[in-house]
């Protein structure tokens, strides 16, 4: 068998992530690798942390990227906080809340599920009732932007409720960060994780996290995490302050160049402008989809501009349509997950993929395939 260098086809990524990585970020990725303890690299790490604080709207000093994808950011939050016997209120309105429940159970905790229908936001009244019924609960965990359904939940209210009941909040912002408002300090959120491959339009494989001072205190009180790699006490020996950085693991040096570049681009655009761009392209897409007779599954108030979950028109073959979009138009859109498989498409407008040209190309291609 002969092996050859891999050259990926050109695609327009309008699924649930990854999104299109702009040439400027790919160019940063290809710069020469230097040592992960090189003083110049340490300067870059400091800048990445500061830029992440801006993008996550926080002054938390424990704000840094985990060297692994969003799932690792999720796991880092749970393994550093949840102890055997802890009760955790887990909100589930899609796939990723289910993964939070798994994490709680693997940490030896008990997950108290607050369930909402897929496509609906987390219902704060149900969370309040669960908090009242479980005064020993220590955490409230929820997904801000459910990628499996395209629904946003009210993070500010949920974090406030957690605090009012003496709980810490654990918040998934994998799909929200950079696309809609994520204001960690304003919300009073405690442990927050995200991903690089959605609205940051960076390469996949890194997970920004931030811990409030209360969450940092709780990790200390918890004692040694069962995961060596995710143990934030150890990781912060490398990502912590100034010159005393010590080796923990070999950082993904080039991927961090790319993250730095993507954060810089977001800072130059301005967070509010990026949110407005996501909103206006979503509106353009929604208007075009309406003309094609395609409906959203989420009520307007709770729709994520960056993840448009729509009903597949009756009689249309899901897989065949997505296949034609991919093969004839180089356009990727996402399939439905779990109970939504076969009935829903997920059209992403994330980060660099979120532009007018893509919206028009997607509507044109979809219109032609549906004909």
Ligand X SMILES: Cc1ncc(COP(=O)(O)O)c(C=O)c1O
Q: How far is the CB of 193 from ligand X (least distance, A)?
A: 8
Would you count residue 349 as binding ligand X (CB under 6 A)?
no
Number of residues that bind ligand X (CB under 6 A): 14
Q: Which of 138, 147, 153, 212 binds ligand X (CB under 6 A)?
A: 147
**Closer Cβ to ligand X, 235 or 363, answer by number:** 235
Part of the chain binding ligand X (CB under 6 A), chosen from 53-61, 64-72, 150-158, 264-272: 64-72
CA distances from 265 to 20, 24, 48, 56, 149 (A): 14, 9, 12, 15, 28
**Closer Cβ to ligand X, 94 or 109, answer by number:** 94
Q: How far is the CB of 364 from ligand X (least distance, A)?
A: 27
**Cβ-contact 191, 230 below 8 angstroms:** no
Residues 272-291 close enough to bind ligand X by CB under 6 A: none
Would you count residue 69 as binding ligand X (CB under 6 A)?
yes
Which residues make beta-bridge pairs with 348? 307
Q: Which of 57, 71, 134, 343 binds ligand X (CB under 6 A)?
A: 71
Count the Cβ atoms, other than its own, within 10 Å of residue 254.
16
Would you count residue 93 as binding ligand X (CB under 6 A)?
no
Part of the chain binding ligand X (CB under 6 A), chosen from 37-45, 70-78, 233-241, 326-334: 70-78
Would you count residue 174 as binding ligand X (CB under 6 A)?
yes
Q: Alpha-carbon distance 60 to 53, whole Å? A: 7
Q: Alpha-carbon distance 301 to 150, whole Å? A: 11
CA distances from 142 to 33, 73, 150 (A): 37, 14, 14
Q: Retrieve residue 71's tokens.
A: 């799932």
Q: How far is the CB of 120 from ligand X (least distance, A)?
A: 16
Handedness of CA 90, 92, 95, 96 (dihedral sign): negative
Part of the chain binding ligand X (CB under 6 A), chosen from 171-179, 237-245, 246-254, 314-322: 171-179
Part of the chain binding ligand X (CB under 6 A), chosen from 170-178, 298-306, 326-334, 336-344: 170-178
Q: Please name the residue ranges forming H helices in the chain.
A: 23-29, 39-56, 70-81, 95-106, 124-133, 155-164, 184-187, 213-222, 232-239, 253-269, 271-291, 318-329, 356-370
Q: Which of 195, 252, 336, 351 binds ligand X (CB under 6 A)?
A: 195
Phi, psi of 112 (to 5 degrees): -100, 110
Would you count residue 352 as binding ligand X (CB under 6 A)?
no
Q: Which residues bind ligand X (CB under 6 A)?
A: 16-17, 69-71, 74, 96, 143, 147, 172, 174-175, 195, 204
């Amino acid at each position: 068998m002969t092996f050859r260098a891999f050259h990926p086809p050109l695609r327009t990524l309008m699924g649930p992530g990854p999104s299109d990585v702009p040439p400027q970020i790919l160019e940063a990725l290809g710069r020469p690798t230097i040592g992960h303890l090189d003083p110049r690299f340490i300067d870059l790490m400091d800048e990445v942390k500061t830029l992440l604080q801006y993008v996550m709207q926080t002054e938390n000093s424990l704000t840094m990227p985990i060297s692994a994808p969003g799932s690792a950011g999720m796991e880092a939050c749970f393994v550093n906080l949840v102890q055997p016997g802890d009760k955790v209120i887990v909100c589930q309105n899609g796939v990723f809340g289910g993964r939070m429940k798994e994490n709680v159970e693997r940490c030896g905790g008990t997950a108290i599920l607050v369930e909402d229908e897929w496509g609906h936001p987390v219902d704060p009244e149900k969370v309040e009732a669960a908090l009242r019924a479980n005064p020993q609960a220590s955490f409230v965990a929820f997904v801000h932007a459910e990628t499996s359904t395209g629904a946003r939940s009210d993070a500010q209210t949920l974090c406030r409720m957690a605090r009012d009941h003496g709980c810490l909040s654990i918040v998934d912002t994998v799909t929200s960060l950079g696309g809609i408002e994520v204001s960690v300090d304003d919300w009073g959120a405690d442990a927050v994780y995200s991903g690089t491959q959605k609205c940051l339009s960076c390469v996949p494989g890194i997970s920004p996290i931030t811990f409030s001072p209360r969450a940092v205190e709780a990790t200390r009180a918890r004692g040694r995490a069962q995961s060596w790699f995710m143990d934030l006490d150890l990781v912060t020996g490398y990502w912590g302050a100034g010159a005393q950085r010590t080796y923990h693991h070999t950082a993904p040096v080039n991927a961090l160049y790319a993250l730095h570049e993507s954060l810089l681009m977001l800072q130059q655009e301005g967070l509010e402008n990026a949110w407005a761009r996501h909103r206006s392209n979503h509106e353009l897409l929604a208007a075009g989809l309406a003309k094609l007779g395609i409906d959203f599954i989420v009520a307007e108030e709770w729709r994520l501009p960056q993840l448009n979950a729509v009903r597949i028109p009756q009689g249309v073959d899901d897989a065949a349509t997505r296949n034609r979009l991919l093969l004839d138009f180089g356009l990727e859109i996402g399939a439905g997950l779990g109970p939504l498989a076969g009935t829903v498409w997920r059209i992403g407008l994330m980060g660099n993929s979120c532009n007018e040209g893509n919206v028009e190309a997607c509507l044109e291609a979809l219109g032609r395939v549906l004909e």
